[in-house]
Amino acid sequence: MQLWLSFLYGGLLVSGINYVSNTLINPALATIIAAAPIGILSVFFIQPGLLTDCYVRNYIATACIHVVAALLLYSFLRYGRLSKYMAVGLALTSWFVLQGIKYGLLGVYAPEFLHP
């Protein structure tokens, strides 16, 4: 049942973002819908205790990298004069590289951060 509920949350969020941004022409409201719920709502599906603590700790680190990738995306679009496809591709690539670096470095220097 949890898998279906997770799928439903994700589908509703993506559909809501699409509708609010493209139909209501309100990208500011769409970003509010997109920003917090998935990571925060996911806590409902994780066993309480050490697993939840570890998840939230890693969620914070991931959110910081997300902010960096968003700033890069804005810079690519605003100052790099790139197409949105190229800018999104570069921002996503940066996000994946930074996540890999975070995971690798924490795995070596602070493994207790990654695992309960």
Instruction: List, in sequence order, the alpha helices (H) in 36-83.
Output: 37-41, 50-78
User: Buried b vs exposed e over 85-106: b needs ≥16 C-beta within 10 Å?
Assistant: eebeebbeebbeebeeebeeeb
pLDDT at site 116: 78
Q: Which two tokens stand for residue 37?
A: 């719920």
pLDDT at site 85: 96
Residues 76 and 29 in one domain: no
Residues 28 and 57 in one domain: no
Say which residues have a Cβ less than 8 Å from residue 34's Cβ, sequence separation at least 6: 13, 17
Query: What's the domain range around 95?
Result: 47-116
pLDDT digits (tens, 9 = 90+) for 52-110: 888 999 999 999 999 999 999 999 999 988 999 999 999 999 999 999 999 999 888 88
Residues 109 and 56 in one domain: yes
Residues 111 and 70 in one domain: yes
Number of domains in the chain: 2
pTM: 0.75
Which pLDDT band, with edges at 50, 70 and 90, does 36 fall under? low
Please say whether the beta carbons of 65 and 58 come within 8 A: no
